[in-house]
Structure 1
């Protein structure tokens, strides 16, 4: 980024002759594999706040294939910024007036640390001149500005190939000069830090936290542990905390313990919220208010079990814009304090940053109270790039907000909610928390402390009221698939007698499938996954393989054996049906299957002999879920009494007929013999 050099603004800074002061030993530059053509320059540390009597130091990492004797570092200081939009322009490479361009200094002449990083020191002279300027050196005079020199000054740092007279790499940071300590209040700053990862719970119910997300969570926890005196507001995702608790990694359990220590610290704050990131009013708009309640209930339950966090479902950090119509569903959930992106607000026409909580126009009883999350501050959390530089740009942005009304007697505060998709970086976290810990103009606050110390009233004592935008972001959830899976799960709950382990595992899949982290196709897979888990449980129930039952008398008892391979008691209703059989004592039985083999008997009466089909079904107690459905064959070999009488009668008749016929034939033969004898 090249910033055009311009004349010095007469009302800003004076320059005294001096040189860049350096200290330390010379190190060796190493060209990394990802070093751009020529070289790379990164910020590893800098002075976050410069008070009278202090110097401004930059510690730089220099990577280049060129020898250090050929490399140089040039520093340019620009005019004091007058607004946050001007600060944004410097980050986008737009020109501002140049205050002072320091001559390049050879990298080989700069003091270097053990890792090869070099240090650049610029003495800042105030009135009286402090610290002393070395003879022949250069310094920055911040003691003779009209209206005061306190403010934010862009500083461009370039890595140059001095032999080739070309710029190899550059970045822009900021010098924050606080000037004479103010008697007014500091700017309050609430930093809402999510402890979040994309869903670790898969549609099939298995839970696995990817290594990169495990590392990022560990970096977050480690940075918070090292800065326990800096108040922050932790916003953990319940599903992520459950993934840490269920993980086989030792480091994940250490991460969870460190986050639990934050939750236990009375100087810190932990926000409870839904099980996964969702828009609660968006769910209500889709007719899923019950799921909004389920998300909050499960979120509070898991955070209580993993972090021992005190439940506070009345305060929510929304993370995405909301509209005026979203307030009623949130109030119905008992929410009385919201943190929403400032992009949710209709323009007020003011050029100043909103630094107070406010009421929403048209809200009943002034509730909920709303704190805006500053989107400009959130923009500093980027993926990749120089994270230490991003941290100091964040601090400079906070300073610029302070200098909008420096030393104001009216308490002011801003909040930022770190984006959920920001990969936590210890480099940014440590640099920013270090700066906040020693800031003379910014006071870190938890969200509850902000509420207690910053009134939602203006300077005139009247309430601050803002209008929300017409509508929030659209919520996408596969409603039909979700409702189908819910109904099946409700029926399955009667089978397992509301076993919390089984229902919790499948219910978590349904809740996770509503996450805003997921694409619609991914959400649908979660709904199907919940159904598949229920089917997997039902597949553990079978019937005995012998499907032919022989009945040797007209009445009898037939056995139906249900085989259960579950580790829990199955509650169900077993029913039989046949057109050729009757069941004197009923065709259904309520069962509690608590062992592997479960023979059940039905009294039966056959209406005829032969082979008859028998339908067998095992259903949930509420009758809505079929667990098993099969067909048996009943073979009746019994003969009825009427048939026996008829058979005996027919036999007797035949015997009589045969006997009579035999007698007649014998008489006829005897008569023929008598005639022949005569």
Structure 2
């Protein structure tokens, strides 16, 4: 006992000397752990290889893998990847020092860890796999990264592939050589025939048509009617709703794409009226946010096809989670997250046919287009997926639902305002030009497209579009002018005033010409309708002048909807007598003569007396 008492201070001293040393080693081993490759899908007993980088101290550090039980749902997978696995691990690999795992570009750990899982085909699933770095002396964890790994005991374990229907929604405002190259690569990729293309390229209709020709209908199997089908909340009482409403957006997008696609995509939940409009336009497939179908108990997943009775529509729900994962698929570990989520989707019902996951991918740069092409090609090469267009997805067996099963948006407000003054003015001018256009409106196609882009959800493109719309509208309005002298001399109380209109517009117009003045009346009306292709035309307005002198008037050119296109100030000189003036003058003269005669007679009579 006395020996033990004498040993305690010595042991304590040794521990006090060792602990700071161990803590110092742990502190110096702190660093950042990053995966530099995607594990992919594991089939059979082949080894799993994980490439990674480590910014901390490598000596005294070892790496190993930990496999946890497979997840049973997409929600559980998401929670596990975010917060870490719960429960005991299934298997651990043999630890190796970082010096042993070193490669020219970092570190690589390979292991047959999945061979420890032996339960036949029932073992197929998405397994959380953790890469862990720990101190080789104390076993304390220094850092860890967890990924979801789809695993199949053998290739025969893969039953019915999951359909994957990607929609590339392009919002590209600035054409460039890089963009042309990226689109060219997209159209020639092995995944091109399975892509549904939506969105806009550039803020001019000519540019969009050019890119549509570049992509080619033979290269991309389907181009969806968008962004003109993608609507921000709109008003039901807009003057120009026929130009920027859903039907117009679908029509113009079809003209640009050169396709008769019967599919429309909504970025937000549509209203019942908008779905009814699709039916009237003979559109039979629509893609909506997955929240629209979220209350369906009869559908295994919100992204499976659903046929809506009464509307004749097949509805597909676009998964926002998959869309977000695809957007980050080119970041470290991003593709593996997308792959694991899609695989979990598959494992919910691996033997069920006719299942499809739909996602929309927003692309705003040429680099994103190139990155999306790479991701799509990788997905196409994965045996558990079957890439397809939205049109193909809509032909899969679907659940039958009623309109009441959909979570639709409320009807648009009957009275609302557009907050942007520039957009409001641009739409007003466009409505006036469209009202005056008596042709096919093909000359206004570019303006209609810009107006639709200006009222879409993309703020950057919207601002650029409204700027171009304003510039082009003012350029067109400048081509409609009242020509001739701005000074009119009237030498009679009742005359006809000539007005000459000149138009250099590329389309025929029908307008109203009128004169406004408080000093003039119009016995046959103050307006005249004139139709003009190109050149000049003159009309005459009969007027009656109320007074002599010089006064102001204005000549106005109005569209049929009442909007003013052109106003010109006139100066009127009236030198003629009016009817009232003549009557008064003659009357006054007669009174004067009568008074003079009577006065003369009275004077003669008085003299004779």
**TM (normalized to structure 1)?**
0.64
Return the alpha-carbon distance in structure 2 between the equivalents of residues 473 and 118 of structure 1: 55
CA spacing shift, 1:55–1:190, aligned 2, 3 Å: same
Counterpart residue number, 1:90? 80
Q: Please give the secondary structure, in 1, of the residue aligned with 2:405.
A: coil
- Verify the 8 A CA contact 1:583 1:605 in the aligned structure 2: yes
After TM superposition, give the deviation of residue 236 of structure 1 in Å. 0.9
Match for residue 335 of structure 1 among 275, 283, 289? 283
2:81 is the alignment partner of 1:121: no
Instruction: Please give the alpha-carbon distance, in whole angstroms, between the structure 2 residues aligned to 1:396 and 1:451.
Output: 24
CA distance in 2, matches of 1:256, 1:405: 38
1:269 shift after superposition: 3.0
**Compared with structure 1, are the counterparts of its residues 605 and 386 closer, same or farther at alpha carbon in structure 2 (3 Å cutoff)?**
closer
Q: For residue 326 of structure 1, report the CA deviation from its aligned partner.
A: 6.7
1:311 corresponds in structure 2 to 260
- Contact 2:235 2:413 survives alignment (8 Å): no
Give the aligned partner of residue 606 of structure 2: none
Q: 1:189 aligns with which of 159, 163, 168?
A: 163
Where is the helix percentage greater, Structure 1 or Structure 2? 2
Alpha-carbon spacing, 1:504–1:150, altered in 2? closer, same or farther (3 Å): same
Gaps of at least 5 residues in structure 2 are: 1-28, 597-609
1:383-426 deviations in Å (ceiling 9; x for gaps): x68635222222222222333344x2x41412222254888846
Tell me by how many angstroms 1:537 deviates: 4.4
Q: Which residue is equivalent to 2:124? A: 150
Cα distance in 2 for residues equivalent to 1:524 and 1:185:
49
Correspondence 1:221-236 to 2 at 5 A: 221=183, 224-225=186-187, 227-229=189-191, 232-236=194-198
- Using the alignment, how far apart are the partners of 1:562 and 1:292 within structure 2? 27
Distance 1:557 1:193 in 2: 64
Whole-Å separation in 2 of the counterparts to 1:244 and 1:431 = 28
1:368 aligns with 2:319: no
CA distance in 2, matches of 1:73, 1:477: 64
| Alignment CA distance shift 1:591-1:303 (3 Å) | closer
Change in Cα spacing, 1:465 to 1:90, as seen in structure 2 (3 Å) is farther
- Structure 2 Cα separation of the partners of residues 641 and 270 of structure 1: 76
- Whether contact under 8 Å (2:126, 2:149) holds in the other structure is yes
Structure 1 residue 634 displacement after superposition: 0.8
- State the distance in 2 between where 1:117 and 1:58 align: 11
Q: Which residue of 2 aligns with 1:416?
A: 358
1:56 positional shift:
2.0
- Aligned-pair CA distance for 1:154: 1.4
Q: Residues 566 and 155 of structure 1: is their aligned pair in 2 closer, same or farther, counting only changes over 3 Å? A: same
1:595-634 equivalence runs, <5 A: 610-613=548-551, 615-620=553-558, 622=560, 624-626=562-564, 627-634=566-573
Q: Which residue of 2 aligns with 1:448?
A: 391
SS at match of 1:92: helix
In the TM superposition, what whole-angstrom CA distance separates every residue of 1:330-364 from its partner, at most 9, and x where no partner exists? 4344333333343223545689646743344xx33
**Counterpart Cα distance in 2 of 1:575 and 1:603:** 11
Check whether the contact 1:152–1:176 (CA below 8 A) recurs between aligned residues: yes
State the number of aligned residues: 557
Q: Residue 323 of structure 1 contacts residue 470 of structure 1 at CA under 8 Å; is this kept in 2?
A: no
Q: How far does residue 596 in structure 1 lie from its aligned partner after superposition?
A: 8.4
Matched residue SS, 1:395:
helix
Aligned twin of 2:66: 76
C-alpha distance after superposition, 1:560-582 (max 9, x if no partner): 56676867776544434667778
> Is the 1:49–1:175 Cα contact (8 Å) retained in structure 2?
yes
Q: SS of 2:291's equivalent?
A: helix
Aligned with residue 395 of structure 1, among 317, 335, 339: 339
Change (3 A) 1:144 1:500: same
1:576/1:614 contact within 8 Å kept: no
Call closer, same or farther: CA 1:269–1:73 in 2, change over 3 Å: farther
Q: Contact (CA 8 Å) 1:354, 1:414: kept in 2 or not?
A: no
Matched with 1:48 is 40
CA contact (8 A) 1:580 1:612 kept: no
TM-score (norm 2): 0.70
Let me know the Cα RMSD of the aligned residues. Answer: 5.4
CA distance in 2: counterparts of 1:448 and 1:629, whole angstroms: 55
CA deviations 1:1-60 (Å, max 9, x no partner) are xxxxxxxxxxxxxxxxxxxxxxxxxxxxxxxxxxxx975544443342222253322344
Q: How many Å separate the matches in 2 of 1:451 and 1:613?
A: 70
Q: Distance in 1 between matches of 2:408 and 2:532?
A: 52
Q: Taking structure 1 as reference, are residues 474 and 594 closer, same or farther at Cα in structure 2, changes over 3 Å only?
A: closer
Q: Is the 8 A contact 1:357 1:464 kept in 2?
A: no
Question: CA 1:415–1:606 in 2, change beyond 3 Å: closer, same or farther?
Answer: closer
Structure-2 separation of matches of 1:221 and 1:498: 35
Q: Deviations over 1:73-128 (max 9, x none)?
A: 55333233333333112211232332344466555544646xx3544332x3xxxx
Unmatched runs of 5 consecutive residues or more in structure 1: 1-36, 125-138, 201-207, 458-462, 655-678
Could you list the per-position Cα deviations for residues 531-562 of structure 1 after superposition, in whole angstroms to 9, with x for gaps in the alignment? 89656644555667965444567787766566
CA contact (8 A) 2:67 2:128 kept: yes
Alignment match of 1:264 (pick from 214, 218, 224): 218
Partner of 2:381: 438
Change (3 A) 1:466 1:548: closer
Alpha-carbon offset, residue 530 of structure 1: 6.5
What is the rounded CA distance, in whole Å, between the counterparts of 1:562 and 1:341 in structure 2?
51
Partner-residue secondary structure (3-state), 1:411: coil
Aligned-pair distance for 1:628? Answer: 1.2
Supply the distance in 1 between the matched residues of 2:516 and 2:410 (Cα, whole angstroms). Answer: 54
Matched, 1:209 2:174: yes
